[in-house]
Amino acid sequence: MATVKYYDVFNGDADGICALLQLRLAQPQNSELITGVKRDIKLLNKLETKVGDQVTVLDLSMDKNKSGLLHALDAGAHVFYCDHHFSGEIPQHPKLTSLIDTAADTCTSLLINEHLAGRYVNWAIVAAYGDNMLVAADQLVEQQGLDAEQKDTLKQLGIAINYNGYGATEDDLHFHPAELFKALLAYPDPLDLKRENAQIYLQLIANYQADMAKTQDAKVVAQSAAGGIYLLPNEAWARRVSGVWGNDLANQSPDIAHAVLTDLPQGGFLVSVRAPKNRASGADELCMKFETGGGRKAAAGINMLPTDELSRFIAEFDQQFTV
C-alpha cells in the first residue's frame, strides 16, 4: 500500500509563511514544502498527488490554481484550502475543506488565527503587518495588550519577512521561503526572536533596511489625480523591495493609488499596484486586465508587463483610480 504524503503549499510572503507557522505549531506535520517567490502563485498546479494524500494550500488564489485543485481532488487527495484572493467558483467536493474570505480587510493568517481560536496570535499579527493590514493588526495588538515596543517588533518583522518574498526568481531572495519557514518554526512566539537576538531576525531587518534606503533614487513614470507610478532599475534589490515600498507609499498617501514598476532582465516590467488605503479596492481588477496579472482588492501585481503595454497600463491605472 502506498504511503500517504503530506504537502504544504504556500505563498512565500509573510502571510503564507505565518499562516503555515500557526498551523504547524498547532498541528505538527512532516510535510513536503511547496513554495517560492511571492509572485509564483500557481504552485498547486505543479503537484502530483494520489489517493489519501493530504494537501494544505495557503495564501494562493484558488482561481489561479483551479486546475491543480481539481486534479488533486480527482486523484483522491484531501485538500484544506485557506485564502483571501479572488477564488472564482469554489468546487463542491467531499474531500475539499475551504476557508475563503476575499474581504479587503483580512488575510490568510488572520483567517487561520480565527480557525485556531487565536492560539498563535502573535504570528497572525506579524502577517497582518507584513500584508499591510494595519487596522486589523493594530486591533489584535490592542486586544493582546502588547506595548509599543512589542508592537514595533512584530510590525518590523512582518514587513521584513514580506520583503524577503519579493523577487523575479528565487535567486533574488536572501532566504528561500521554505528555509525561512523552517528557521522561524523554532519560535512559537515571534517576540522571542528579538529577545534572543536571533540571527535570522537581525539579518531580515538589516537586509530590508539596506534595500529600502536605495528607493530614494526611483524615477517617476507618471503622476495624476489617480496616483503615482514609479520605476526601479533592473537590480535584485529593486525586485526585492518593490512590494513593501509600494505599501510604504500607500501608507504615506492613503487617498491615492500607487504602482511600482521594476525593469526585468528580459525586458518589460514587474508591477506592484496598491489601491488607495482609504478606499481599498480595484487593484485586482486593474491587474487582471493584463495577461500575467492578479492579486486582491487592495494590492495586486503583474508578473511581466510588456514594454509596449506600458502606455495602456498608465491609461487603465488612471481610469481605475480616478474618482
pLDDT-derived band of residue 25, with 50, 70 and 90 as boundaries? very high
Residue 1 has pLDDT above 60, yes or no: no
pLDDT-derived band of residue 295, with 50, 70 and 90 as boundaries? confident
Reported as a single tens digit per residue, the pLDDT across 182-200 is 999 999 999 999 999 889 9
Sequence-distant (≥ 6) Cβ neighbours of residue 236 within 8 angstroms: 167, 171, 172
User: Which has the closest alpha carbon to 21: 175, 190, 185, 191?
Assistant: 185
Burial 261-299 (b: 16+ CB within 10 A, else e): bbbbeeebbbbbbbbbbeebebbbbbbbebebbbbbbbb
Sequence-distant (≥ 6) Cβ neighbours of residue 268 within 8 angstroms: 304, 305, 306, 307
C-alpha cell at 183: 528557521
Sign of CA dihedral 304, 310, 316, 318: positive
> What angle do helix axes 134-144 and 148-164 make, rounded to 10 degrees?
140
Beta strands in 88-200 (DSSP E): 96-100
Can you give the pLDDT at residue 146? 98
Can you give the pLDDT at residue 82? 98
Q: How remote is the C-alpha of 171 from its chain's centroid? A: 18
Contact 128, 161 (CB under 8 A): no
pTM of the model: 0.86
